[in-house]
Amino acid sequence: MSSLSKKWFVIINPTSGNGKSKKKWPEIKQLLELHGFEFEFVFTEYSGHSVLLVQEAIDNNFMNIICVGGDGTLHNIVNGIMSQNKILSKNIHVGMIPIGTGNDWVKTHHIPMTIKSAIETIFKGNILTQDIGKIELLNKNSIPVYFNNLAGIGFDAYVANKVHKYKYLGPLAYLFGAIIGLFSFKKFNAIVSVESHKYSNKNLMILVGLCKYSGGGMRLTQNPDPFDGLFDISIAQNLSKIEIIKNLGRLFNGKIVFNKKVTTLKAAAIDIELIENGALFAQADGEIIGSGGFKATIIPKAFTFYC
């Protein structure tokens, strides 16, 4: 394995998977040692800590990172990689040991869910490089936020903000959060600009996808390809509560995009301007990143991972 000559930096989010990462760490550590990985490891201490840990690791010449956690931990690792200037982002390689709740990103790339197979995948050393999305929120002078899976505004972010309460339910937490959220969420007016087209509608949610799955296995965009330099966009308009409940199965099998109230597009950039309700949450990879409209642009082939 070429990786034997590499120094690895392992980041463990002890809260991921409702505490499973912490419990499983001794087993993971032993397997990494058995495979001959030379590594240093750190447990995150607070939400978002991985961003800083990655920046420091790259500053200390680590170019191989292993994520032990879920989609939120990986999102923070991606943000650490994308926000540093020392090394071209695609030259930092990330291995994933998925111990989250939803584990949505790994499903697109068929990265194994079991610890042993995930470690073997990293050990084999095959890599791929996918596109990354860059978000600039419109309502504050915020630093850019990067995403590797899917970002959105509206109902999906509303659910993402509530779902942590139900994480003890595992992947079902997202479905449960969505059903509960249906009764209190208010649809919103927005102008969506994609290339020279403008879409002005009342919306349930607007999704900007790179990979296939979100919300614990839901498929809300039509045909995302993380390698084609384009976002897969879904604008879900004024669907009623009854229509959503009737279509619950279609949220998971991808057929929701064929509903006549869902517009699907492919583009390298999108602007979402809210007409009212500027306090609406926005999410990236399931993490709440702030509120209000945003501009998203694609950065082709920017993130390299073991698969």
Ligand X SMILES: Nc1ncnc2c1ncn2[C@@H]1O[C@H](COP(=O)(O)OP(=O)(O)OP(=O)(O)O)[C@@H](O)[C@H]1O
Which residues of this chain interact with ligand X, rule CB under 6 A?
13-17, 44-49, 69-73, 76, 100-103, 167, 286-287
* Minimum distance, C-beta of residue 46 to ligand X, in the bound complex (Å): 5
159 vs 206, beta carbon nearer ligand X: 159
17 vs 290, beta carbon nearer ligand X: 17
Distance separating alpha carbons of residues 17 and 3, to the nearest angstrom: 28
29 vs 266, beta carbon nearer ligand X: 29
Under DSSP, the state recorded for 89 is G
Burial readout 139-159 (b: 16 or more C-beta within 10 A, e: otherwise): eeeeebbbbbbbbbbbbbbbb
Under DSSP, the state recorded for 142 is P
174 vs 306, beta carbon nearer ligand X: 174
* Minimum distance, C-beta of residue 1 to ligand X, in the bound complex (Å): 27
* Minimum distance, C-beta of residue 13 to ligand X, in the bound complex (Å): 4
Element (H, E) at 209: strand 205-209
* Minimum distance, C-beta of residue 48 to ligand X, in the bound complex (Å): 5
* Minimum distance, C-beta of residue 220 to ligand X, in the bound complex (Å): 16
100 vs 292, beta carbon nearer ligand X: 100
Helix residue ranges, H only, the chain: 16-34, 49-59, 71-82, 104-109, 115-124, 155-163, 172-182, 241-246, 248-253
Return all residues near 207 (Cβ < 8 A) that are at least 6 apart: 150, 151, 152, 156, 214, 220, 221, 233, 234, 235, 236
* Minimum distance, C-beta of residue 166 to ligand X, in the bound complex (Å): 11
Question: Cα-flanking dihedrals φ and ψ of residue 4, to 5°?
Answer: -60, -30
Whether 269 contacts 291, CB under 8 Å? no
* Minimum distance, C-beta of residue 171 to ligand X, in the bound complex (Å): 8
13 vs 304, beta carbon nearer ligand X: 13
Under DSSP, the state recorded for 92 is S
228: tokens are 């084609």
112 vs 300, beta carbon nearer ligand X: 112
